[in-house]
């Protein structure tokens, strides 16, 4: 019965931080691998003879969700709901509005925004009409929205699924369809104030979710570009070099250097010069000062600007009381092309309930940065709207929460039903229907068994199984007396309540 | 500036119930029309020279959302949220769990489920790997989920977007990407109890949304199949005849008959025999009795079963107190292949705020029915899980709500911000940052302007513009005294509050 929950099941077996990385794949695979890395449970189905429709007959097909995707069961959506509520309450606390955009965009809208990662975009089939692609993130659609509606000033959040034809690793929370929770601030403002707020938001959310210790790495594309410039890399290779440097958190310096030299065509000396910077130990104000004194880097205008702003950012983060979780890290580069200023990425250091001695980098759970040029790419007159934002990647957070729930054997309710309408009597369906209808109309969350003559025991068992706290029991005597027997499922205590007071009494009992 | 909000703007101009139907198109167009019916505002964009990415240069492209789709602005998402909350609270009141499935399915999963409408399915491009399609509804993915996980008993809701390459008519709320809010009950139960609950849910939701008068039409596929059988139609043409009958609510009998004879190859006499039934005036128990007495139809086993259950359904609906809004209507057929028993469709009779004398059918806002065979089509052993459900189509409801808000000039808040942290002083950015951080950490929804030295007037104006009820003003004197000046924006009343009591005071004032 291995295929019962083929995609979700694997997630429980081995904690994802304990899984080995594929040794043959030190750098992130950019093209989707043809073979499945995860065990996808499948089953051949004999499709019954066409009773419905005309274009089907007996044939085998495979009962599964598409590669890299999964269903959410009621228990999983219940956990997901908790995570969403935490994130949404934080976004609202910071005054964000909500927008929504279509799941697909014109292919052209997405073109030229993601660098090497563009290969991972899902295209729709050309069925006549426009060429479309599934959104790859929520940032490019946001920029398209701003330009199209000439909005120059907005603070919004957007929670939605995005799509990447990446090599899935679902036990580690990497899917082809996954949620992003984005918060962005667009507009011409004074330096680093919105940027600092984005980091405050990441800090609040990761603290509230209680996922254990975390660290937020920051860097600035202007500083990186300054580094590339003083190391002698031509402008045209900046983005591509960024992509390579970005792999430093998953690969060794040797692998990264090999890619720079072998694939990107840099000289080994140039690569080493870059290495001297991007391999510097992470730090804070000290590292900023050190780089401001660097004889080469301090000559570069962009780098000086970036370092000045980084200093300002740390001032604001100190006022917010969160500077201790922030680390200025020259090896952070971020993969996407559109960043122009500060960039950041949050990593969990250790799963809360794991018994390990040293902190383990569990991978990024949030990331973002400043992208001042993206809206201008869409605007007919090239007008710029500076933007900064953050994206919370919740699949990994879900994985952790699910494992915690699984480990704790905590029972999670998947409904909010307050009362079960029950009867000990035969032929009382009409009485139950009338009573439950009254309760629904009074706003009470009520269920009943869909049987004409259910046994009382089965009705009470249903309450136990699903966590319904109360049963409203009606039989001949109660009907005659105009009352309903209200039973507390946990204590088995029963009390007669006048029928017209029932809704009120249920509400009273469940509020306290 | 017509292109500012090209897709949403049109919706306001002419109320959709006042729009003419395209006269050349009496029957629903099954294939997507190549030409746009709606005016899509577009704008040519000069893409700036490639600064980002490599595969772009100077070229024109069009700044728009894909055909038949739209963005939701903050105001629209605020209205949408209200509608969702009403619907979700109803689904929860009836004890539903939540599941979620991927936006795409294996193409094979969707094949052979939708009859003629299969043409409208969006396929993904074959980029190597599985052949995928965007979901066309939430029902087939639900059935696939049940079979895959061997679930035989569940009551769930699912709210998500579905995709149809239909001819969009966005001013009337018909989109290619649109939300469905589905509630379904799966399991072996006694007849018509879950079916009646689905109708109760439609009744509750349409009542709570206060959209004016509505009617829920019901029929049963078994009765229709009985009608087709006694009229001499071969089994193999049942589904196709259903699709044609389904058009009766949008087209005349003559058009429908022409399709039966011309396209489906029925004889004019057969078509007329069908017409005698499906054109019968809608009714209730009376019509059921009349058909049970019908010399031909009463000989048909399926029809007798369907009519018997219809009688039972009306009994239960009477107990629920909603039978007056339900109409048994033989012309209701529903387009989809998978229905096997009772089917229903809710229509709004009249917009609430329109000054018209006769009720106008504004089109369907909810529909559903029983589909007892669908899960079995996916199960490797063909095991059946009987299901019944309803889908609320909210795009039309949104349209109406948006028009109402527009007409009432009601101001809708798009954020929940409780307080703006402000200052009358220059160089007080650090003080504001520290104060707002304290408020956020106390759970207060707070904003500040992202300027180093904003004018007090601008700060107060921002409160007025966005509906923020309170301003927390801090200047030199307040800082010295350890207080914050709390200003009620509406009344301009100001009072000094000790800084450590500020969060509590804000909460107290906004609760009452």
pLDDT confidence bin for A70, thresholds 50/70/90:
very high
Q: How far is A388 from chain B (nearest CA, A)?
A: 12
Residue A263 DSSP label: I
Q: Is the pLDDT of residue B51 over 90?
A: no
Q: Tell me the HSE value of B344 on the side-chain side, using a 13 A CA sphere.
A: 30
Q: Among all residues of chain B, which has the CA nearest to that of A125?
A: B125
Instruction: Please give the pLDDT value at position B59.
Output: 52
* B373 with A52: Cβ contact below 8 A: yes
3-state secondary structure of B486: strand
Q: Is the pLDDT of residue B57 over 90?
A: no
The torsion defined by the Cα of B294, B298, B303 and B304, in degrees rounded to 10, comes to 120
* A46 with B130: Cβ contact below 8 A: no
DSSP B258-290: HIIIIIT---HHHHHHHHHHHTSPPBSHHHHHH
**How much is the average pLDDT of A431-436?**
98
pLDDT tens for each residue of B251-297? 899 999 999 999 888 999 999 999 999 999 999 999 999 999 999 99
Instruction: Please give the pLDDT value at position A26.
Output: 32
Q: A60, A85, A97: which to substitute to probe chain B, counting the most B Cβ within 10 Å?
A: A97
Residue B85 DSSP label: H
Q: Is the pLDDT of residue B3 over 90?
A: no
Spatial distance between the Cα atoms of A467 and A419, rounded to a whole number of angstroms = 10
A73–B contact, CB cutoff 8 A: yes
Q: Is the pLDDT of residue B319 over 50?
A: yes
Q: Which residues of B touch A452 (CB under 8 A)?
A: 190, 193
Q: Is the pLDDT of residue A333 over 60?
A: yes
Instruction: Please give the pLDDT value at position A512.
Output: 63
Spatial distance between the Cα atoms of B109 and B338, rounded to a whole number of angstroms = 13
* B51 with A373: Cβ contact below 8 A: yes
What does the block give as tokens for A142?
């946001």
Q: Is the pLDDT of residue B52 over 60?
A: no
- Among the partner residues B80, B97, B189, nearest to A414 by beta-carbon distance: B97
Q: Which residues of B217-252 are buried (b: 16+ CB within 10 A; e: fewer)?
A: bbbbbbbbbbbbbbbebeeebebbbbbbbbbbbebe
| Range of weakest confidence among A12-16, A85-89, A484-488 | A12-16
Q: Which residues of B touch A101 (CB under 8 A)?
A: 65, 71-72
Spatial distance between the Cα atoms of A504 and A439, rounded to a whole number of angstroms = 10
What region, left, alpha or beta, does residue B220 occupy, with left being phi > 0 and alpha being psi -120 to 50 degrees? beta
- Among the partner residues A112, A126, A204, nearest to B53 by beta-carbon distance: A112
Q: Which residues of B touch A190 (CB under 8 A)?
A: 429, 450-452
* B112 with A46: Cβ contact below 8 A: no
A96–B contact, CB cutoff 8 A: yes
**CATH placement of domain B214-348:** 3.30.930.10
Q: How far is A38 from chain B (nearest CA, A)?
A: 15
C-alpha dist (Å) from residue A330 to A1, A221, A303: 49, 10, 12
- Among the partner residues A97, A165, A315, nearest to B127 by beta-carbon distance: A165
B153–A contact, CB cutoff 8 A: no
**How much is the average pLDDT of A448-462?**
98
Q: B100, B162, B238: which to substitute to probe chain A, counting the most A Cβ within 10 Å?
A: B100
Q: Which ranges of B51-116 does DSSP label H, i.e. alpha helix?
A: 74-93, 107-110
A234–B contact, CB cutoff 8 A: no
Q: Among all residues of chain A, which has the CA nearest to that of B124?
A: A124
Q: A1, A2, A47: which to substitute to probe chain B, counting the most B Cβ within 10 Å?
A: A47
| Range of weakest confidence among A107-116, A226-235, B361-370, B438-447 | B361-370
Higher local confidence (pLDDT), B360 or B33? B360
Q: Is the pLDDT of residue A179 over 90?
A: yes
* B433 with A316: Cβ contact below 8 A: yes
Q: Among all residues of chain A, which has the CA nearest to that of B150?
A: A4
Instruction: Please give the pLDDT value at position B361.
Output: 55
Q: Which residues of B touch A65 (CB under 8 A)?
A: 101-102, 105-106, 148
Residue ranges at the known binding site of B for L-histidine:
137-139, 164, 180, 184, 334, 338-339
Spatial distance between the Cα atoms of B92 and B98, rounded to a whole number of angstroms = 9
Nearby residues of A245 by Cβ (< 8 Å), 6 or more positions away: A224, A256, A274, A278, A331, A333
Instruction: Please give the pLDDT value at position A204.
Output: 98
Q: Which residues of A154-192 are buried (b: 16+ CB within 10 A; e: fewer)?
A: bbbbbbbbbbbbbbbbbbbbbbbbbbbbbbbbbbebebb
A418 marked among binding-site residues: no
What are the contacts of A300-305 at 24+ separation with CB within 8 A? A300/A226, A300/A229, A300/A230, A301/A226, A302/A222, A302/A223, A302/A225, A302/A226, A302/A229, A303/A222, A303/A223, A303/A225, A303/A226, A303/A227, A303/A229, A303/A230, A304/A226, A305/A222
- Among the partner residues A123, A126, A451, nearest to B189 by beta-carbon distance: A451
Are A99 and B72 in contact by the 8 Å Cβ rule? The answer is: yes
For residue A210, which of A350, A325, A316, A49 has the smallest C-alpha distance? A350
Q: A59, A64, A98, A116: which to substitute to probe chain B, counting the most B Cβ within 10 Å?
A: A98
Spatial distance between the Cα atoms of A269 and A132, rounded to a whole number of angstroms = 44
Q: Is the pLDDT of residue B36 over 80?
A: no
Domains B214-348 and B419-511 in one fold = no
Q: What's phi and psi for B27, nearest 5 deg?
A: -95, 155
Q: Is the pLDDT of residue A19 over 50?
A: no
CATH-assigned architecture of domain B1-212+386-413: 2-Layer Sandwich (3.30)
Domain map of chain B by residue range?
Answer: 1-212+386-413, 214-348, 419-511
pLDDT confidence bin for B30, thresholds 50/70/90:
very low
A164 marked among binding-site residues: yes
C-alpha dist (Å) from residue A82 to A412, B339, B505: 11, 36, 28
- Among the partner residues A61, A125, A443, nearest to B123 by beta-carbon distance: A125
Burial, B23: exposed, middle or buried (Cβ in 10 Å; 0-12, 13-18, 19+)?
A: exposed
Are A316 and A202 in contact by the 8 Å Cβ rule? The answer is: no
| Range of weakest confidence among A41-50, A228-237, A315-324, B342-351 | A41-50
Q: Which residue has the tokens 């007892």?
A: B372
* B32 with A6: Cβ contact below 8 A: no
pLDDT tens for each residue of A371-381? 999 999 999 89
pLDDT confidence bin for B400, thresholds 50/70/90:
confident
Put simply, the chain B residues between 350 and 379 with a CB less than 8 A from any chain A CB are 373-374, 376-379
Q: Among all residues of chain A, which has the CA nearest to that of B439?
A: A93
What does the block give as tokens for B54?
């490599």
Q: Which ranges of A20-138 does DSSP label H, i.e. alpha helix?
A: 74-93, 107-110
Burial, A58: exposed, middle or buried (Cβ in 10 Å; 0-12, 13-18, 19+)?
A: exposed
Q: How far is A236 from chain B (nearest CA, A)?
A: 9
Residue A465's CB is within 10 A of a number of other CB atoms, namely 8
Q: Which residues pair with A473 in a beta bridge?
A: A422, A485
Q: Is the pLDDT of residue A55 over 50?
A: no
- Averaged pLDDT of chain A: 87
Lateral strand order in the sheet of B342-348? B97-98, B154-163, B177-186, B387-393, B364-370, B342-348, B214-220, B326-328
Q: How far is B301 from chain A (nearest CA, A)?
A: 18
pLDDT tens for each residue of B192-249? 999 999 999 999 999 999 988 999 999 999 999 999 999 999 888 888 888 899 888 8
Q: Among all residues of chain B, which has the CA nearest to that of A374?
A: B52
Burial, A9: exposed, middle or buried (Cβ in 10 Å; 0-12, 13-18, 19+)?
A: middle
**How much is the average pLDDT of A474-493?**
97
A184 marked among binding-site residues: yes
Q: Which residues of B touch A71 (CB under 8 A)?
A: 99-102, 145, 148-149
A131–B contact, CB cutoff 8 A: no
pLDDT > 90 fraction of chain A, expressed in percent and rounded: 72
B107–A contact, CB cutoff 8 A: no
Are A222 and A336 in contact by the 8 Å Cβ rule? The answer is: no
Q: Which residues pair with A420 in a beta bridge?
A: A447, A471
**How much is the average pLDDT of A63-88?**
95
Residue B115 DSSP label: G
Q: B3, B38, B71, B507: which to substitute to probe chain A, counting the most A Cβ within 10 Å?
A: B71
Q: Is the pLDDT of residue B28 over 50?
A: no
Instruction: Please give the pLDDT value at position B359.
Output: 47
Residue B172 DSSP label: G
pLDDT tens for each residue of B403-423? 888 888 878 899 999 999 999
For residue A102, which of B116, B50, B111, B168 has the smallest C-alpha distance? B168
A404–B contact, CB cutoff 8 A: no
Q: Is the pLDDT of residue B80 over 70?
A: yes
Q: Which residues of A touch B4 (CB under 8 A)?
A: 148-150
SS (HEC) of B411-447: CCCCCCCCEEEECCCCCCHHHHHHHHHHHHHCCCCEE
C-alpha dist (Å) from residue A247 to A118, A298, A330, B208: 17, 26, 13, 54
A-B Cβ pairs (cutoff 8 Å, strict) = 347
pLDDT confidence bin for A226, thresholds 50/70/90:
very high
Q: Which residues pair with B370 in a beta bridge?
A: B388
Spatial distance between the Cα atoms of A62 and B106, rounded to a whole number of angstroms = 9
Higher local confidence (pLDDT), A445 or B34? A445
Instruction: Please give the pLDDT value at position B404.
Output: 85
Higher local confidence (pLDDT), B191 or B7? B191
DSSP A124-169: BP--SS--EEE-S-SHHHHHHHHHHTT---EEEEEEEEEE-----B
pLDDT confidence bin for B362, thresholds 50/70/90:
low
pLDDT confidence bin for B512, thresholds 50/70/90:
low
Spatial distance between the Cα atoms of B474 and B485, rounded to a whole number of angstroms = 6
Put simply, the chain A residues between 2 and 21 with a CB less than 8 A from any chain B CB are 3-6
Are A60 and A45 in contact by the 8 Å Cβ rule? The answer is: yes
pLDDT tens for each residue of A126-143? 999 999 999 999 999 999
Instruction: Please give the pLDDT value at position A360.
Output: 52
Spatial distance between the Cα atoms of B105 and A221, rounded to a whole number of angstroms = 39
Residue length of chain B: 512
Higher local confidence (pLDDT), A410 or B316? B316
Are B489 and B463 in contact by the 8 Å Cβ rule? The answer is: yes
* B450 with A194: Cβ contact below 8 A: yes
Q: Is the pLDDT of residue A170 over 80?
A: no
ipTM associated with this complex: 0.86
Spatial distance between the Cα atoms of B373 and A217, rounded to a whole number of angstroms = 54
pLDDT confidence bin for B58, thresholds 50/70/90:
very low
Q: A46, A61, A89, A129: which to substitute to probe chain B, counting the most B Cβ within 10 Å?
A: A129
Q: Is the pLDDT of residue B340 over 90?
A: yes
Q: Which residues of B touch A149 (CB under 8 A)?
A: 4-5, 71, 73
Are B17 and B360 in contact by the 8 Å Cβ rule? The answer is: yes
Q: Which residues of B120-155 are buried (b: 16+ CB within 10 A; e: fewer)?
A: bbbbbbeeebbebbbbbbbbbbbbbbbbbbebeebb
What does the block give as tokens for A151?
């909005």
A22–B contact, CB cutoff 8 A: no
Question: Under CATH, to which class is A1-38+67-213+390-414 assigned?
Answer: alpha beta
* Inter-helix orientation angle A74-93/A193-208, to 10°: 140
Q: Is the pLDDT of residue B33 over 80?
A: no
Q: What's phi and psi for A16, nearest 5 deg?
A: -70, -25
Domain B419-511 matching CATH 3.40.50.800: the answer reads: yes
Q: Which residues pair with A345 in a beta bridge?
A: A217, A367
Higher local confidence (pLDDT), B37 or A95? A95
Higher local confidence (pLDDT), A274 or A239? A274
Instruction: Please give the pLDDT value at position B11.
Output: 30
A504–B contact, CB cutoff 8 A: no
Residue A455's CB is within 10 A of a number of other CB atoms, namely 12
Q: Among all residues of chain A, which has the CA nearest to that of B146?
A: A4
B149–A contact, CB cutoff 8 A: yes
């Amino acid at each position: 019965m291995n295929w019962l929950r083929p995609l979700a099941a694997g997630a429980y077996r081995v904690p994802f931080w304990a899984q080995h990385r594929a040794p043959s794949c030190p750098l992130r695979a950019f093209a989707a691998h043809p073979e499945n890395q995860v065990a996808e449970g499948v089953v051949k189905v004999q499709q019954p003879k066409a009773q419905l429709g005309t274009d089907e007959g007996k044939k085998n097909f495979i009962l599964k969700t598409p590669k890299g995707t999964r269903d959410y069961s009621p228990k999983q959506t219940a956990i997901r709901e908790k995570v969403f509520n935490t994130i949404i309450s934080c976004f609202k606390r910071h005054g964000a509005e909500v927008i929504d955009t279509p799941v697909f965009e014109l292919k052209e809208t997405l073109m030229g925004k993601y660098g090497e990662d563009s290969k991972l975009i899902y295209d729709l089939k050309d069925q006549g009409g426009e060429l479309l692609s599934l959104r790859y993130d929520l940032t490019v659609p946001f920029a398209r929205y701003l330009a199209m509606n000439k909005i120059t000033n907005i603070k919004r959040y957007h929670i939605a699924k995005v799509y990447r034809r990446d090599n899935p690793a679902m036990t580690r929370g990497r899917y082809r369809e996954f949620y992003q929770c984005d918060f962005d601030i667009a507009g011409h403002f004074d330096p680093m104030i919105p940027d600092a707020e984005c980091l405050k938001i990441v800090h609040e959310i990761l603290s509230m979710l209680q996922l254990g210790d975390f660290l937020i790495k920051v860097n600035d594309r202007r500083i990186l570009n300054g580094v590339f410039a003083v190391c002698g890399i031509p402008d045209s290779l900046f983005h591509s070099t960024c992509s390579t440097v970005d792999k430093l958190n998953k690969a060794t310096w040797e692998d990264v250097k090999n890619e720079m030299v072998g694939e990107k065509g840099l000289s080994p000396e140039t690569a080493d010069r870059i290495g001297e910077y991007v391999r510097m130990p992470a730090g804070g104000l000290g590292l900023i000062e050190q780089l401001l004194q660097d004889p080469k880097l301090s000559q570069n205008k962009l780098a000086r600007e970036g370092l000045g702003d980084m200093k300002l950012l740390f001032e604001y983060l100190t006022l917010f009381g969160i500077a201790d979780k922030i680390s200025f890290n020259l090896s952070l580069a971020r993969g996407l092309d559109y960043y122009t200023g500060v960039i950041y990425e949050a990593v969990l250091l250790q799963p809360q309930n794991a018994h390990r001695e040293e902190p383990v980098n569990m991978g990024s759970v949030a990331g973002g940065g400043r992208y001042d040029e993206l809206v201008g790419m869409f605007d007919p007159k090239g007008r710029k709207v500076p933007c900064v934002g953050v994206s919370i990647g919740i699949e990994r957070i879900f994985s952790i929460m699910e494992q915690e729930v699984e480990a704790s054997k905590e029972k999670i309710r998947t409904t909010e039903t307050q009362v079960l309408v029950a009867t000990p009597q035969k032929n009382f369906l009409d009485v139950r229907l009338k009573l439950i209808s009254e309760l629904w109309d009074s706003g009470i969350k009520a269920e009943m068994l869909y049987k004409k003559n259910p046994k009382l025991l089965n009705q009470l068992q249903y309450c136990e199984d699903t966590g319904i706290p109360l049963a409203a029991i009606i039989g001949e005597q109660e009907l005659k007396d105009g009352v309903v027997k209200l039973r507390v499922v946990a204590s088995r205590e029963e009390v007669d309540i006048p029928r017209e007071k029932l809704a009120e009494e249920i509400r009273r009992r469940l509020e306290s």
